[in-house]
Structure 1
Amino acid sequence: MTTRRDCLKFSLAAAVAAAFPHGRAFAADASPLLTRAIPSSGEALPLVGLGSSATFAQVARSEDVSALRDVLQALVAGGGSVFDTAPAYGASEEVAGTIARELGLTGRVFWATKLNAVPRGGEKADPAAAREQLETSFRRLGKERLDLVQVHNLADIGTQLPLLQQYKADGRIRYVGVTSTSKPAYPRLIEVMRNEEIDFIGVDYAVDNRDVEETILPLAQERRIGVLVYVPFGRTRLWSRIGDRPLPDWAAEFDAASWAQFMIKYVAAHPAVTCVTPATSKARNMADNLGGGRGRLPDADQRRRMAEFIDALPAAD
């Protein structure tokens, strides 16, 4: 039975050691991590990165963040670079920025953060508060120029997106975008995609959560908008549905050696997807996740089989 805990003995069979200042070494698969081009620029990004909500955020709030050092080391050692965070993720942004500076990794990370200065319960952001939140992100991440900043959850697009676009015009932000992980907000997301000049969107997408395949992903291709995928495991939903079932033998046809890689490869195979950013606070899971961006990706028939397999499982409680 293939489980996430023992996946490394399969996915890292051909490994090399990568040493870092923290004193730990992490296995890095010898096969290259696949890349996708950012549509608006052609810049290539590794297909799998790291998110910092969920367990990453929980550990960032603790006194011992050594596990997060190991995660960031594993990301870079494995050929990844994209780190997705947000001020709303508690201490994640600040802790990650501090760790990266300590390890000399700041310049090797593609920093993607977010902006949402709308007060709780409000509808409008104060422009001064939005600028202060941005400047705080610059300080926390130790960068004079951030790679990507997105308006978090489509909050006050009328105020906050023009601010990001001005920062981009001034050369302080390389790419701008918007995010949403709420299906009721998809119509608004589609409207923004059609009418605003943005480089990226961030959306929820998983093998059992495929609504974005209908309109959002094709529109991203049409409008040349990059796509960051969030929660490819459905947070914990997919793990609950899979339980202790063995990985099907046919997953080897597209080089998936663990359930994490199965789930990541499903969404990564869509041509609109630029980078998949599952969150984790464990280095072994980070290395496993990166395996989802190596080797073969499933074709259209294989993706249909994957979706049918998952759909046939009982829904999580």
Structure 2
Amino acid sequence: MASATAAAAVPRMKLGSQGMEVSAQGLGCMGMSVAYGPPKPDADMVALIHHAVDAGVTFLDTSDVYGPHTNEILLGKALQGGGVREKVDLATKFGGFLGEDGWSVRGDPAYVREACEGSLKRLGVDCIDLYCQHRVDTRVPIEATIGELKKLVEERKIKYIGLSEASAATIRRAHAVHPITSVQMEWSLWSRDVEQDIIPTCRELGIGIVCYSPLGRGFFSVGSKLADSLSDDDFRKLLPRFQPENLEKNALIFESVNAMAARKGCTPSQLALAWVHHQGSDVCPIPGTTKMENFNQNVGALSVKLTPEEMAELESYAATGDVHGDRYPEMMNTWKDSETPPLSSWKVEC
């Protein structure tokens, strides 16, 4: 199948209303180190990151939980020398914590500061461009968490504050303490529940929208055949949508997208990514990849143009009733359960 060219320049966009500018498409770096099978060779991934930056994709996304820590260390290597750091808009996240009882979420002020100091060291930078709370700690008032992040802004250790997987109410409370630059969320053809409350809240408050997994964690690249190539330690094997009984039904969605892509002269992944780009000038998808060829294809999605009629047709393929399986298992934290206690309760505890 033909694919759209990746030669066009990657435009820049304003992310939120606080002054941050990023490439209109970012690069999610998680899969280079964790979750999607074994870690990839550092040298290959550094080369890919440098290729991305040279191509104009300068918004790089990582987290201290990826590895843990190894993905930040990888990016730290990629940022060394050659003026790379000056070209990059660097985003990392905190919140995931490995304790005696396994993974949990922390958002208390002391941990916020500890996590930031650790990320600065691993990344080898003086300041993080966009520092995001990866998951909301439902035991800690969001005001207490954002209050500490505000101090880090004042100390110039971070430039902008972001959230990830936060409810509309949590976003509003956080924004009242310090302006939030972006909210990261899963938004794709088959993950659209954020459109009800989260997206309108971000737009009302002037908050940028960062979309992770815009290709359905690879589903919109190859469809159900993806399951055949997953290693035993691939995180996707745990996800409901990738269970055999659901994947077989979801394959019909991919077949429709694939057929439309053939008519458009692009790949199905480019078509799915173009749909995200067409959601608005405040939306920045951050597809991840570990392969140069796939990266070039993803950049090519920027040149795929869709009419309102084509947008509606695409959306009809993945209507709510046609998507089988939730995006996460029940035990995993998402924005749906991100409410936090009032700040008054935190003051009493302290």
Change (3 A) 1:56 1:302: farther
Other structure's SS at 1:101 match:
coil
1:184-199 matches, cutoff 5 A: 186-192=167-173, 195-196=176-177, 197-199=179-181
185-194 or 130-139, which moves further after superposition? 185-194
2:172 matches 1:174: no
Cα deviation code 1:122-146 (max 9, x no counterpart):
6654533332221111122222111
Gaps of 5+ in 1: 13-28
Give the equivalent residue in structure 1 for 2:189. Answer: 207
The one-letter code of the counterpart of 1:41 is Q
Change (3 A) 1:123 1:30: closer
Shift of 1:95: 0.9
Other structure's SS at 2:190 match:
coil
Asked if the contact 2:133/2:162 (under 8 Å) is kept, the reply is yes
Shift of 1:229: 0.6
70-79 or 95-104, which moves further after superposition? 95-104
Give the equivalent residue in structure 2 for 1:107. Answer: 86
Asked if the contact 1:49/1:290 (under 8 Å) is kept, the reply is no
Give the equivalent residue in structure 2 for 1:129. Answer: 111
Q: 2:310 aligns with which of 298, 302, 315?
A: 302
Change (3 A) 1:249 1:54: closer
The one-letter code of the counterpart of 1:226 is G
1:64-83 matches, cutoff 5 A: 64-83=41-60
Give the equivalent residue in structure 2 for 1:286. Answer: 295
How many pairs were matched up?
A: 286
Query: What is the distance in 1 between the residues matched to 2:263 and 2:145?
Result: 43
Query: What is the distance in 2 between the residues matched to 1:36 and 1:231?
Result: 20
Cα deviation code 1:184-235 (max 9, x no counterpart):
x635545446644311111110011111222221221110001111111222
- Percent sequence identity is 22
Other structure's SS at 2:57 match:
coil
Gaps of 5+ in 2: 225-250, 326-350
228-237 or 189-198, which moves further after superposition? 189-198
Shift of 1:37: 1.4
The TM-score with structure 1 as length reference comes to 0.78
Give the equivalent residue in structure 1 for 2:346. Answer: none
43-52 or 237-246, which moves further after superposition? 237-246
Asked if the contact 1:221/1:272 (under 8 Å) is kept, the reply is no
| RMSD between superposed Cα atoms in Å | 3.1
45-54 or 304-313, which moves further after superposition? 304-313
2:147 matches 1:147: no
Asked if the contact 1:97/1:106 (under 8 Å) is kept, the reply is no
2:29 matches 1:11: no
Asked if the contact 2:96/2:103 (under 8 Å) is kept, the reply is no
The one-letter code of the counterpart of 2:78 is I
The one-letter code of the counterpart of 1:289 is N
Shift of 1:250: 7.5
Other structure's SS at 2:299 match:
helix
1:230-309 matches, cutoff 5 A: 230-238=212-220, 239-240=223-224, 241=251, 242=254, 246-248=258-260, 252=264, 257-271=266-280, 273-292=282-301, 294-309=302-317
